[in-house]
Amino acid sequence: MEAVARFYRHAHLSFKALFGWLNPGVYLMVMVINPLSQLLFFAMLAKYAFQGSNLAGYVVSNALLLCVMNAVFGMMTVINSDRQMGTLQLVVASPASKIGVFFARAIFHIVSGLFTAALGLAFGMLIFGLTFSGEQLAWLGLVWTVSISAACGLGFVISSFALWSPSMHIWSNLLASVLLLFSGASFPRSHMPDWMYRLSEFFPLTRGVEATKLLIRTGDKEFTTILTRMAEEGLLGCGFFLLGILLFYYAEYLARVKGTMEME
């Protein structure tokens, strides 16, 4: 039990420090106002472009996309903050399990991503007068949990780049834009060129957006398709987390051989 309590304390304090919760205004601006303004912009754009057709699907899909704030920018800070504060060497040299240390820092970003997406969903329902059944909301909770976890896995891979590059804002902004573009949240993926359509299968959130639109579409009960796509999304997320861990251990090996963590 002590190990579980220590894991929770580490996860909570790391997340709290990253977003400056000692000043709640920082969290309010970063994780509430900014995501909701993004949702309103893309929902209004889709409403204008498609003359209101399937508006609910675009609103709810864009609510899911709000997790990018956690999956990309939040996960980037997992390693980047240690590098900037000069504590990365201490973390690498410590005998503690690196997997446990960094997974503890990631877990609250998954929870926060779910909260941000749920907040966006409530905001969209209020602004656009949308209603959903309890069954649809329960399935959305399952789909979003899997999809946001997979997105955080890709964010962990990108955050490991902080071991080599001090210019993480370039990588994180590029990845955030790629996820927004390839997910198909604001337009049908069938409108993509063939190469984009094929490439989008390798990014998380693509299947989550597809499953979300299937759930919201009235009369659709394609649960087999949804579960299959979510199983693929879960495997993709596990693959990203494994790749991020391998990159970290490779950097740790290079640091021990070269005697420095400055590898750029």
Identify whether 264 is part of a domain.
no
Identify whether 134 is part of a domain.
yes
Identify whether 47 is part of a domain.
yes
What are the φ and ψ backbone dihedral angles of 211, each rounded to 5 degrees? -65, -40
Range of the domain at 188: 1-258
How many domains does the chain fold into?
Answer: 1
List, for residues 231-258, the tens digit of each pLDDT value: 999 999 999 989 988 888 888 788 777 7
- 75-85 and 2-18 helices, crossing angle to 10°: 80
Q: How far, in whole angstroms, is CA 54 from its chain's centroid?
A: 25
What six digits make up the tokens of 92? 């690498």
pLDDT at 186 over 80: yes
pLDDT band at 168 (very low <50, low <70, confident <90, very high): confident
Let me know: does 113 contact 148? Beta carbons within 8 Å: yes
Identify whether 263 is part of a domain.
no
- Distance in angstroms (rounded) separating the CA atoms of residues 81 and 117: 25
- Dihedral of CA atoms 4, 10, 11, 13 in degrees, nearest 10, equals 140
